[in-house]
Each structure stands twice: as structure tokens, then as C-alpha cells.
Amino acid sequence: MAEAQGRAKDLTETDTPLDPDEIPRCSSLTTKELQQNWKAEKQGDRPVRLLFEIPSFRIIHHALSKYVAYDVVVMRSGSFDSHRVSVERRYSDFSRLHHKLLEEFDDELEEVVLPRKLLSGNFNPENIAERQLALQDYLAKLYATRCVRYSALFSSFFTEQEQKKAHGLLRAGQFKSALEQLQTILEIQEKLAPWQSSTLTVHTLCAIAVCYRDLDKPEQAFAAAQKALPPVRRYGLANYRAPLLELLVDLGYQLGRPVAQLQEELMELRDAERGMVSPRSLKEVVVQEFI
């Protein structure tokens, strides 16, 4: 028996170990991990699309008016979209969008019909539920129309009201409230980004940088400004470039970051602009937007 055990031990000790590349990789994965990998690979082949949902509404009462505000959720498919971001829009907002789009894309929108306006029963729960689905379908059809999907009018529908509100708060010095609005705007713009101008987020990022600067959060301000700089350079947004560089240099010194190249770029830009434009801070540029 001992001899047999010894032979077994010898065989075990003298077996040539498997090369790591020869070991089946899936052997170390749990069933859950395999499922997650399979799902990720499958999703990687799917084109990213925008999805719209109108899951809820509010009835708004004012002194002289009453209307339904629909909660419009914007999501992206094809990858895990962990955060549902939404804006409120009333029927008149959809109507304005439709008429603006018709001015540019009348032929292309021949088969895209805005849900009709109700002459009565606007606050009837059944009518509201029916309209929620109809408006949701309307947005999906707009998105499916290529010229609309790439139109600035389409992205503005989801952000313009919030931009005006955020910049109003910023001008009033309410930086924390402005920042909350701007972060929502940025999330929506990033979802829309594949079909919009590469400069879509520049104004928002600059406004976010200004808010963080005034809230004494230099790290976050620097990060937002740094993210805005490449498209500003690439697409020649001259009104933003020097103020953005100036902010980055100031924050860089404060944070102990290397800023020599940024400072050199700023000096060259200022020399080129000398006598042509009066220097303005990024805050002065931002507060002039969406007036």
C-alpha cells in the first residue's frame, strides 16, 4: 500500500504543469460572471440608440392657468445606462418643436404626426395616459428620422429651458442650484452627443467650471474646464479659448498642476489678440449665454 502511495506521489510530483495559456479561461469563472461576459459581448455588437419614456406627469396649477407637465426620460441603449435623466415638458413644448422642425424638414416629416391637440378633457386621466404613449411614440419617430436626429433643434428641445434657468441662477449668484441644473443638462447632452455637434457640451462644461470655481471646489472646476478645452481648440471657439486657458492656469497654480504649456498657449493667444478684443474672464463669457 505504501509503495502504491509512493508511486502515486511520484507521478503527481513529476507531472508537467499545464501552461497558463492552455488552461480554459472559463474554468475560473462563475456562472454569473459567464452570463455577464456573454451579455457584455452581445451588447457590444448592438448599435447605441436613444430611447424615450414618459412614465409620469404632473398637473400644474397657476393663478391663471393649468396644464399637464410630462416627465420625459432620455436613455441610451446598447450599453448599461445606469442613470435615468429626465426633463419636464408640456404639450405646447412638443408643438413648438414640431413647427420648428417642419420649417426645416417638411418633406422628411411627412409621415411623422404630432398627437392632436385636445379641445376638451385635457385633464382626464385616460386622455393623459393616451397622450403619454402618443408623445413617447412621437419622440421615437423623430429620432428615427435621420435629419432630425442630427438637428440642433432636437437636442435643444431637451436642454434649452434648463439652460436658461441654470444661467439665470448663475447670474443671480446661486451657484449650487445652477450646478444641479447644469449637471442634468450635461448628462442629457452626453446621451445625445453621438448625433450632435462635437461642441455640444462646451457651454455647459464652462458654466459648470465657473460654478465649481465660485463654490471653492478647484479640483472639480479644473476637471470640467480641462474637458471643455479640446473641442474649443479643435473647432476654433475663440470666445472661449483664452478665458478657459486663463482659468486652467489659475486653478493649476492653486492645485500644484503643471501649467507651463497652458500658460505659453495663453500668452501666444493674448499676443495675437492684442488690440482686437478686450480680455474677459470665463465667468463674464458664460453669463452672457442664454439671456
CATH number at residue 256: 1.25.40.10
Final residue before a domain boundary, out of 149, 182, 206: 149
Which phi and psi (to 5°) does residue 13 adopt?
-75, -25
User: What confidence score (pLDDT) does residue 245 get?
Assistant: 96
Claim to verify: residue 145 and residue 156 sit in the same structural domain: no
Contact 138, 94 (CB under 8 A): yes
pLDDT confidence of residue 32? 52
Between CA 12 and CA 66 the distance in angstroms is: 83
The per-residue pLDDT for 64 is: 85
Bridge partners for 58 per DSSP: 69
Residues 141 and 190 in one domain: no
The helix (run of H) or strand (run of E) holding residue 60 is: strand 50-61
Domain C-terminal end among 134, 149, 164 = 149
| Long-range pairs for 155-158: beta carbons < 8 A, 24 or more residues apart | 155/189, 155/192, 155/196, 155/200, 157/89, 157/93, 157/97, 158/72, 158/74, 158/87, 158/188, 158/192
- Residue 28 CA to residue 289 CA, distance in Å, equals 55
Q: Please report the pLDDT score of residue 49 as a whole number.
A: 85
The predicted pLDDT at position 277 comes to: 60
From residue 158, how far is each of 138, 165, 221, 287 by CA, in Å? 14, 13, 25, 21
289 shares a domain with 159: yes
Q: Same structural domain for residues 144 and 265?
A: no
Per-residue pLDDT of the chain (291 residues; tens, 9 = 90+): 444 444 444 433 434 444 444 444 444 445 655 555 555 444 444 567 889 999 999 999 988 889 999 999 999 886 566 678 999 999 999 999 999 999 999 999 999 999 998 878 789 999 999 999 999 999 999 999 999 999 999 999 999 999 999 999 999 999 999 999 999 999 999 999 989 998 999 999 999 999 999 999 999 999 999 999 999 999 999 999 999 999 999 999 999 999 999 999 999 988 887 766 668 899 999 999 987
- State whether residue 70 is helix, strand or coil: strand
The verdict on 207 and 225 lying in the same domain is yes
How many Cβ atoms are within 10 Å of 60's Cβ, its own excluded? 12
Q: Which domain holds residue 257?
A: 152-291
Predicted local confidence at residue 105, as pLDDT: 96
Whether residues 145 and 185 share a domain: the answer is no
Give, as one character, the DSSP assignment of residue 275.
Answer: T
Query: Which of these three, 112, 134, 149, is where a domain ends?
Result: 149
145 contacts 109 by C-beta, under 8 angstroms: yes
Distance CA 13, CA 8 (A): 9
**Closest by Cα among 202, 154, 214 to 178:** 214
The DSSP-derived string for 72-103 is EEEEE-SS-----EEEEEEHHHHHHHHHHHHH
Q: For residue 276, what pLDDT is reported?
A: 63
> Is residue 14 domain-resident?
no
Q: Per the domain annotation, does 224 fall within a domain? A: yes
Q: Is residue 1 part of a domain?
A: no
Q: Is the dihedral of CA 8, 11, 17, 22 positive or negative?
A: negative
Rg of the chain, C-alpha, whole Å:
28
